[in-house]
Amino acid sequence: MIMRKAIPYSLLTLVILLLGGYAAWTQYRPEAIFLTDLRSEVALNQGIPGDSGNLLGIQPELFAHDYRSPAQLRRKLAAYLDKARAEGLLNSKTVVVLPEHIGTWLVASGEKNQVYEASSVTGAMAWLAASNPLQLLRALPKAKGDDRLADALFRMKGEQMAADYQALFGSLAKDYGVTVVAGSIVLAEPRVENGVLLTGDGPLYNVSQVFAADGAPLGQPQRKVVPIIDEQGFTAAAPVGALQVVDTPAGRLGVLVCADSWFPENYRALAGKEVDLLAVPAFLTGNGSWEKPWGGYNGAPTPTDVQLKAGELSEGDAWQTMAMAGRINQSGAQAGITVFMRGQLWDMGSSGHSLIADQAGHQLADDDHGARLINKWL
């Protein structure tokens, strides 16, 4: 009889210990030192330096461990900007452009080692969920779209992500005295109020924020108009009318986030707002994808002015024909730049040749290992 009574209490004690241990584990964030390559090379420098400014693309080489903290990521990006300054590529009219999703992976910042050491994005997100159970449970009821787990993971860390994103890229813009197109980040219904980037309770959007040389946000977050299929489960599409142009010391700047640069109506919208410069933060998943057959339009129907079909040319040729390099004339902009992310974020891989374009044509940057700087004098 005594044993029968003791068993439930023993089980209860065991459960309490296990829950206590799990709770303690979720709070533990070990500090770690990660050595990363801070070097970069000038891959393309077109034009003659003058008083009109320049478009400077930074094609970083990033890995999961670079997102251990905003400070870790900032250290790497600052090293690239130091190189650009040493090469004479920075001035008060420089517009620095970073790649798509460079801010998105701040979702992994301040997490456990298992997140960075996971072999896949899926595994990393599973560890992220396991490490933040209460925050995840609070975010799930607000999640939208088909991929509610992905939505909830970004939503639960969105407020901190927005603060880290603004602090990181705003401080880089201020410290180096340049305009920064801060790639993109996934946030819930983001907006700028009184100079602060805030999140809301609405849908997630993939957005790009421009920061002025004083570190303040320029305009509102530019929402992506055409999320690709992989994004549609957890991010919403913005209307074409949401495309904006902001004034910079180098001219009126429009931002087309990755796939947005493939659609003629977006160029017409920017042309109506008298755009001078185009910035295209881009991300192409999969090592070697640039050389592989083009898979066709992704995220929206093929525009009527495109006769080519999937498989008839390579992915790289498609980017040069149907994206910004082949459509800049439709906007009236004098110059544009497309900047890809490189490196290995978990199992995603990356590809793409960053490029610059103007009304006369375009030029690809040399592609090699390591971070690359791509510059066009205006």
Q: Tell me how far apart the alpha carbons of residues 159 and 179 are, in angstroms, rounded to a whole number.
A: 24
Q: What is the pLDDT of residue 302?
A: 97
Do 206 and 104 touch, CB atoms closer than 8 A? yes
Residue 157 burial (C-beta neighbours within 10 Å; 0-12, 13-18, 19+): buried
Q: What is the pLDDT of residue 343?
A: 94
CATH class of 38-109+157-377: alpha beta
Q: What is the pLDDT of residue 344?
A: 95
Q: Tell me how far apart the alpha carbons of residues 109 and 116 are, in angstroms, rounded to a whole number.
A: 9
Q: Which residues pair with 245 in a beta bridge?
A: 254
Q: Provide DSSP, 218-247.
A: EEEEEE-SS--GGGTTT-PPPPGGG--EEE
Span 124-150, average pLDDT: 94
Span 60-67, average pLDDT: 96
CA angle 201, 205, 206 (to 5 degrees): 145
Span 144-149, average pLDDT: 93
Q: Where are the domains of the chain?
A: 38-109+157-377
Span 39-62, average pLDDT: 97
Span 217-240, average pLDDT: 97
Q: What is the pLDDT of residue 36?
A: 80
Question: Residue 35 pLDDT > 70, yes or no?
Answer: no
Q: What is the pLDDT of residue 160?
A: 98
Question: Residue 132 pLDDT > 70, yes or no?
Answer: yes
pLDDT of 237-268, one tens digit each?
Answer: 999 999 999 999 999 999 999 999 999 999 99
Q: What is the pLDDT of residue 11?
A: 42
Q: What is the pLDDT of residue 10?
A: 47
pLDDT of 120-130, one tens digit each?
Answer: 999 999 999 99
pLDDT of 328-360, one tens digit each?
Answer: 999 999 999 999 999 999 999 999 999 999 999
Q: What is the pLDDT of residue 196?
A: 98
Do 362 and 299 touch, CB atoms closer than 8 A? no
User: Which tokens hold the place of 83?
Assistant: 């190189």
pLDDT of 165-200, one tens digit each?
Answer: 999 999 999 999 999 999 999 999 999 999 999 999
Span 17-22, average pLDDT: 44
C-alpha dihedral (292, 293, 294, 295), degrees to nearest 10: -100
